[in-house]
Amino acid sequence: MQQDIWSISDLIGDIYDASLDPGQWPAVFEKLGTYVGGSTASLVSQDTVTRTAQIYFNWGTEPTYAQLYVEKYCKLNPVFPTVSFFDVEETYDVPDCLPRDEFCRTRFAKEWLSPQGFVDALFSNVDKSRTSCAIFSVFRHLTDGFADDEMRQRFALVVPHVRRALLIGKVIDLKRIEAATLADSLDTLASAMFVVDGTARIIHANTSGHVMLAEAGVLRSPNGRLGALDNTADQMLSDSFIAAANGDAAIGRRGIAMPLRSRDGVRYVANVMPLTGGARRRAGAAYAAVAAVFVHKAVLDLPSPPEAVAREFQLTPAELRVLFAIIEIGGVPEVAEVLGITEGTVKSHLHHVFEKTSTRRQADLVKLVAGYSNALLA
């Protein structure tokens, strides 16, 4: 494990500062990779319908290989679509998707990973939608060896903070916000925003926040304190404010994508960002606040096409890989080469897929998956 250059409290502070100033993310990803003990750190979004990828932030991967991934190897990465099923914030590695020896025989491992000297990686979903997932990953070089327990602990420690910062950055549309004038800067934000102290007292609310409180359908403000209608959600909000008062690291997983429901059953999500560290400390001091709360309507929690197909027809991960490889690549010999398995194994998995889906031809499988994809995109 590499020696720490930054303290964990400073690193977490930098992560949250980047949510307000996205120009800081490249430097933050370098710090993340170094702290965790890897040779790279990246955030890549992969679409499960179009099988395309977008690299948002990257440290350590040569530009040529990054471009190759987007143009070609994202479609050959054997951890997809399995990784799109995984819960957000959980830590995974290659064996969680497929056996390591099988992975090493794939074209992806031979042509993209090996030339760069990578031997292992940890990754986590930090954002999921019905058609895509955003993966935070840290790769290990041959000289670093395989991921060990310390690397896993450090990775798991930073993932919730990365996720919270990215979700908040997404809400504020990646515009640079001056921390010292946070409340004024976010007054025109479409999402409701509240600045609160450790006792949940509302110090500032933007226009959308005032409207939400006036309607009293999602949140309430008894005695000027921010609360949720549901008792469980209300306690979660209160706990996150108390934790935020103790610093960035203390808040941990509290206050990330907290589910809220309106009186008429509409789902909302709340994200709490501490204001007690980094550049945000100036905002907290200016408003005598400990946290900013962002509340907006939740997107429909629908399964991705691979998830929907796998659940409906009870496909195993190996069968699902073969199914999507057949659709993406084509014939049995080509799929065998890409997945690093024998043609006989491909045929066996394909036979089971045909049986479970009541289809007979590859063209039928293409239509079946397209039907699930179109239904989600409608």
Residue-by-residue pLDDT tens, the chain, 378 positions: 444 545 788 899 899 888 888 888 999 999 999 999 999 999 999 887 777 899 999 999 999 999 999 999 998 998 887 887 788 899 999 998 889 999 999 999 999 999 999 999 999 999 887 778 899 999 999 998 999 999 999 999 999 999 998 888 877 664 555 655 665 666 767 789 898 998 999 998 988 999 999 998 999 999 999 999 988 999 999 999 999 888 888 888 888 989 998 888 888 999 998 988 777 777 666 667 888 899 988 865 556 677 778 888 888 888 888 888 887 777 888 888 888 888 898 899 889 988 898 888 888 887 887 776 665 444
Give the CA angle between residues 12, 17, 23 to the nearest 5°: 120
Which two three-digit tokens encode residue 244? 């935020």
CA gap 70, 53 in Å, rounded:
5
Judge if 179-297 and 305-377 fold alike in CATH terms: no
Residue 204: what are its φ and ψ, rounded to 5°? -155, 145
Q: In this predicted structure, what is the pLDDT of residue 342?
A: 87
Specify the DSSP class assigned to residue 291. Answer: E
| Residues in contact with 285: Cβ distance below 8 Å, sequence separation at least 6, in sequence order | none
Q: By CB neighbour count within 10 A (0-12 exposed, 13-18 middle, 19+ buried), where does 224 fall?
A: exposed
- Residue 91's CB is within 10 A of a number of other CB atoms, namely 18
- Specify the CATH number for 305-377; select among 1.10.3720.10, 3.90.226.10, 2.102.10.10, 1.10.10.10: 1.10.10.10
One-letter amino acid for residue 83 of the chain = V
Taking the domains of the chain in order of start, what are their residue ranges? 8-171, 179-297, 305-377
Residue owning tokens 């934790």: 243
| Residues in contact with 10: Cβ distance below 8 Å, sequence separation at least 6, in sequence order | none
CA gap 254, 22 in Å, rounded:
23
What is the rounded end-to-end Cα distance, in angstroms, of the chain? Answer: 48
Q: In this predicted structure, what is the pLDDT of residue 283?
A: 64
Which two three-digit tokens encode residue 369? 């998956």
Q: In this predicted structure, what is the pLDDT of residue 173?
A: 61
Q: In this predicted structure, what is the pLDDT of residue 183?
A: 59
| Counts of helices then strands in the chain (DSSP H, E) | 16, 12
Contacts 24+ apart (CB under 8 A), 20-25: 20/169, 20/172, 20/176, 20/177, 20/178, 20/179, 20/182, 20/279, 20/280, 21/176, 21/177, 21/279, 22/169, 22/174, 22/176, 23/176, 25/56, 25/57
CA gap 224, 239 in Å, rounded:
17
Residue 98: what are its φ and ψ, rounded to 5°? -160, 160
CA gap 122, 152 in Å, rounded:
8
- Residue among 195, 170, 163, 176 at smallest CA distance from 20: 176
Cβ contact 38:118 at 8 Å? no
**Torsion sign over Cα 295, 299, 304, 308:** positive
DSSP-assigned beta bridge partners for residue 267 = 261
Q: What is the largest CA-CA distance in the chain?
A: 70
Specify the DSSP class assigned to residue 226. Answer: -
Which two three-digit tokens encode residue 112? 């993209």
Q: In this predicted structure, what is the pLDDT of residue 175?
A: 57
Cβ contact 172:21 at 8 Å? no
Which two three-digit tokens encode residue 50? 């179009």
- Global pTM reads 0.79
Which two three-digit tokens encode residue 250? 């203390």
CA gap 352, 344 in Å, rounded:
13
- Specify the CATH number for 8-171; select among 3.40.50.970, 3.40.50.1110, 3.30.450.80, 3.40.50.2000: 3.30.450.80
CA gap 311, 302 in Å, rounded:
12
- Residue 45's CB is within 10 A of a number of other CB atoms, namely 16
Annotation: CATH topology of 179-297 = Beta-Lactamase (3.30.450)
